[in-house]
Chain A
């Protein structure tokens, strides 16, 4: 079974540019999560998509946005890049969990996209 894939593996941009990061979840998974991990820091939650809808958003400015496609793959867009956006961006997927259902929901992570803003 193929795991979560992300592209590109590395991305170099300059300040003010836009970056687009892509994620393909494990087959059968409908939820996609995005995290930012700056160097030496923990994972900061960015966005959660499920069934094409944005379900939750972390404490990030609106220039961080994304979408989920009908095949459940996802894009993360970062506009007006700033130097502090340099980080490892991680995507995770999990099986469908209807909102409000209590239970185990294991996330599986991709290898990440390392974004460098110059």
Chain B
């Protein structure tokens, strides 16, 4: 699976949008982009995934660039409960996902 690069940490004001970037310049055509988050000492929580098109669900939006070399996870109205480590992963079914260090997002009042 392609490797990803994420900023180590970010912060965001409560109520504002949190935009978390991910670089995956070596992604192959059949690899999906997944986002998970892990709140302290809990199991990772699936957020969203996409292949080429932008995706939106009740938790977040995923914007994938046209060349698919990068993506952005958007939490439209961040709350304190969104403070977590966010992982960006690229993989295709049947392969083992590689979780890097992720981005530690701190949402402050």
CB contacts (< 8 Å) of A102 on chain B: these are 30, 92-94
Please measure, in the bound complex, the distance between the C-alpha atom of A43 and the C-alpha atom of B91, giving whole angstroms.
Answer: 15
Query: Contact partner of A99 among B34, B91, B94, CB < 8 A?
Result: B94
B1-54: which residues lie under 8 A (CB-CB) from chain A? 30, 32, 34, 36, 41-46, 49, 51
Q: Which of B36, B92, B96 has the most CB of A within 10 A?
A: B96
Q: Chain A at the B interface: mostly helix, strand, loop or mixed?
A: loop
Are B101 and A42 in contact, with the CB atoms below 8 A?
yes
Q: Which of B41, B45, B49 has the most CB of A within 10 A?
A: B41
Tally of contact residues, B, Cβ under 8 A: 23
Q: Nearest Cβ in chain B — how far from A20, in angstroms? A: 19
Please measure, in the bound complex, the distance between the C-alpha atom of A53 and the C-alpha atom of B38, giving whole angstroms.
Answer: 28
Please measure, in the bound complex, the distance between the C-alpha atom of A15 and the C-alpha atom of B50, giving whole angstroms.
Answer: 44
Are A103 and B92 in contact, with the CB atoms below 8 A?
yes
A78-118: which residues lie under 8 A (CB-CB) from chain B? 88, 90, 92, 97, 99-112, 114
Are A101 and B93 in contact, with the CB atoms below 8 A?
yes
Q: Nearest Cβ in chain A — how far from B6, in angstroms? A: 11
- Interface residue? B65 (CB, 8 A): no
Give a binary string over A32-74; 1 marks a CB under 8 Å from any B CB, 0 the rest: 0101000000110100100000001010000000000000000
Give a binary string over B82-99; 1 marks a CB under 8 Å from any A CB, 0 the rest: 000000000111101111
Q: Which of B30, B45, B51, B97 has the most CB of A within 10 A?
A: B97
Q: Nearest Cβ in chain B — how far from A95, in angstroms? A: 9
- Interface residue? B100 (CB, 8 A): yes
Please measure, in the bound complex, the distance between the C-alpha atom of A101 and the C-alpha atom of B94, giving whole angstroms.
Answer: 7
CB contacts (< 8 Å) of A92 on chain B: these are 43-44
List B residues at the A interface (Cβ < 8 Å).
Answer: 30, 32, 34, 36, 41-46, 49, 51, 91-94, 96-102
